[in-house]
Amino acid sequence: MASLMKSFVDVSPGSQFPIQNLPYGVFRPSAGASPRPGVAIGDSVVDLSVLSEAGLFKGPLLSSSSCFSQTSLNAFMALGRPAWKEARKTLQKLLSDGEPTLRDDHVLRSKAILPMNQVTMVMPAVIGDYTDFFSSKEHAVNCGTIFRGGKEDALPPNWVHVPIGYHGRASSVVISGTDIRRPRGQTSPPPGENAPEFKPSALLDFELEMAAFVGPGNELGKPVSVDEAADHIFGFVIMNDWSARDIQKWEYVPLGPFLGKSFGTTISPWIVTMEALDPFICDAPEQDPPALQYLTEKNRFTYDIPMQVAIRPKGESKASVISNTNFKYLYWTVCQQLAHHTVNGCNLNTGDLLASGTISGPVCMI
């Protein structure tokens, strides 16, 4: 049973990174060293460029591939699910407690397995386009109430038919730990005034999301069907879609969010693969009214991923939990999002990021 598999690498109980996970990221082993792909296990990082140079990826798809000698995961992500499965199988074998190849080769092991706190994580992929969806019904109702006033018509009439999304800013997607500067911008005229104000945002907010990295893309003019969509998804990161609500409120009519969100979007440096998430597959919410045919899944599923937000204000020693939610509540699945995104012929590229939209309602940090 996979759940009993153990690694010779120390993994403390409760670690997010047991041998069953093995998320992918990109890191520098030391300052000035070139970035290379790695997987996380326990409090360690496995340098895939070292394993690849040592000839340890012996499967048919990876033995002669240079994808682990790149400075991003794009080349690996472009290879598709069979290569991802091959890599996972190889890595789980190499890292398992019964396998001597790496465990007992102390020179190779010390080169390939590094303490996570000694490496520097960088962006895992070159993101071409970043799309943010709006797939939580509760969040859509909350936003409607905040931005358009009144709970009655808070949910736009298209919402139950269209997996609403918009193009986000790819350049300002950064990994956890990167400083985000409070944005300045225009905000609505104060009561009784005509001219807007220009000031640092006074309504900086966060949004808890998950985001999927696209693996193989599709050609312009060739939609991906909803039942093929899963094969185009490499894995997920957690995302904080920083939002300046006062800037957003003044600018967003008629063309949507722009500077209220483009000053920074934070993702986790580790991408959890679809394979690692398999044990957490569960039913997705029933849809009423039924989705249009191109969005109707033969096998409708989502993932049971509990999520939590805690905030620790500067100077405080303790973080306060302010939100508990679950990815499984999202009304539109990632397969529906991807099929919708391409149904008009829009092409996705490897490394594109599809964010879920806020999972449950926003909590303003006013």
Residues in contact with its own copies by the rule CB under 8 A: 128-129, 134, 143-144, 147-148, 156, 158, 161-162, 164-172, 174, 179-181, 183-186, 194-196, 198, 217, 220-221, 223, 244, 247, 250-260, 262-264, 289, 292-294, 340-341, 343-349, 352
β pairing state of 113-115 and 44-47: antiparallel
**Identity of the residue, 61 or 146, whose beta carbon is nearer to its own copies in the bound complex:** 146
Q: Any binding-site annotation on 248? A: yes
Given the residues 139, 232, 340, 341, select the one marked as catalytic: 139
Considering the complex, state which of residue 17 and residue 134 has its C-beta at the smaller distance from its own copies.
134
340 is a catalytic site residue: no
Q: How far is the CB of 158 from its own copies (least distance, A)?
A: 6
228 is in an annotated binding site: no
Residue 342 annotated as binding site: no
Q: How far is the CB of 121 from its own copies (least distance, A)?
A: 17
Question: Nearest distance from residue 20's CB to its own copies, in Å?
Answer: 34
Question: What are the Cα distances from residue 339, in Å, to 80, 161, 167, 222, 283?
Answer: 17, 13, 16, 11, 19
> Which residues are paired to 336 by β-bridges?
none
Least separation in angstroms between residue 266's CB and its own copies is 12
Query: Minimum Å distance from CB 280 to its own copies?
Result: 29
Does residue 90 have a known ligand-binding role? no
Nearest CB to its own copies, comparing residues 140 and 276: 140
- CB nearer to its own copies: pick between 249 and 300: 249
* Dihedral pair phi/psi, residue 173, rounded to 5°: -80, 125
- Closest among 216, 236, 233 to 23, alpha carbons compared: 236
Closer by beta carbon to its own copies, 271 or else 295: 295
What is the C-alpha to C-alpha distance for residues 264 and 241, in angstroms, rounded to an integer?
Answer: 8
Binding site listing for Mg(2+):
241, 261, 265
Binding site listing:
132, 134, 148, 207, 209, 241, 248, 252, 261, 265, 358
Return the active site residues. Answer: 139
